[in-house]
Amino acid sequence: MTISVGDTLPGGTVLEMSEEGPVAIDLDMLFKGRKVALFGLPGAFTGPCSTAHLPSFIRTKAQFDAKGVDDVVCISNNDPFVLGAWAKESGADTAGVRLLGDAEATFIKALGLDFSAPAIGLINRSSRYALYAEDGVVKVFHLEEDGGQCTVSSGESLLAEI
């Protein structure tokens, strides 16, 4: 079953790269009592993920802050080392957009948003989506019907509904 508005985000642990190495992030603590803009994408350093999706949240980060959003977070099915490199190369780290690794796809499977496309080398990946949650409850949810596009799941689209 796919997550929808009104549902509570699942808990679990993901990894974030720090200067000292990977750090475990408890998702229940990340969401509890906080306003979070969360987006997922098929993979770091891939087509629309690098040219459209992540850049849209980097561009709009200050506007999310102005609306009282506590955190702008990307969860991808990459390892934290790849995400750390992508954060540096893309400027997400300096913009304050957090990139969290769900390498085993546990979180994305709990959301019901996983897919595989073996012909292009994508296994257990995340569908392209964006959501806004308050205290872990989904208030806005945008799922991209065509994963090669970034329209309804962009930072601007999500920001418009908060």
The domain that contains 50 carries what CATH number?
Answer: 3.40.30.10
The total number of structural domains in the chain stands at 1
In the prediction, which pLDDT does 17 show? 97
pTM: 0.94
Domain that residue 138 falls in: 15-159
**Mind listing the pLDDT tens digit of every residue in the chain (162 residues)?**
799 999 999 999 999 999 999 999 999 999 999 999 999 999 898 889 999 999 999 999 999 999 999 999 999 999 999 999 999 999 999 999 999 999 999 999 999 998 777 787 777 888 999 999 999 999 999 999 887 889 999 999 999 999
DSSP-derived letter for residue 53 is I
Whether residue 32 lies inside any domain: the answer is yes
Is residue 74 among the annotated active site residues? Answer: no
In the prediction, which pLDDT does 58 show? 98
> CB neighbours (10 Å) of residue 161?
11
Q: Which of 96, 33, 93, 30 is nearest to 63 (CA)?
A: 96
Whether residue 3 lies inside any domain: the answer is no
Whether residue 134 lies inside any domain: the answer is yes
Residue from 15, 30, 36, 49 carrying the catalytic annotation: 49
Whether residue 5 lies inside any domain: the answer is no
In the prediction, which pLDDT does 143 show? 96
In the prediction, which pLDDT does 125 show? 82
Residues in the chain, how many? 162
Longest dimension (CA), the chain: 42
**What angle, rounded to 10 degrees, do the helices at 54-66 and 80-90 form?**
80
In the prediction, which pLDDT does 76 show? 95
Q: What are the φ and ψ backbone dihedral angles of 96, each rounded to 5 degrees? A: 95, 15
Burial of 82 (0-12, 13-18, 19+ CB in 10 A): middle
Whether residue 8 lies inside any domain: the answer is no
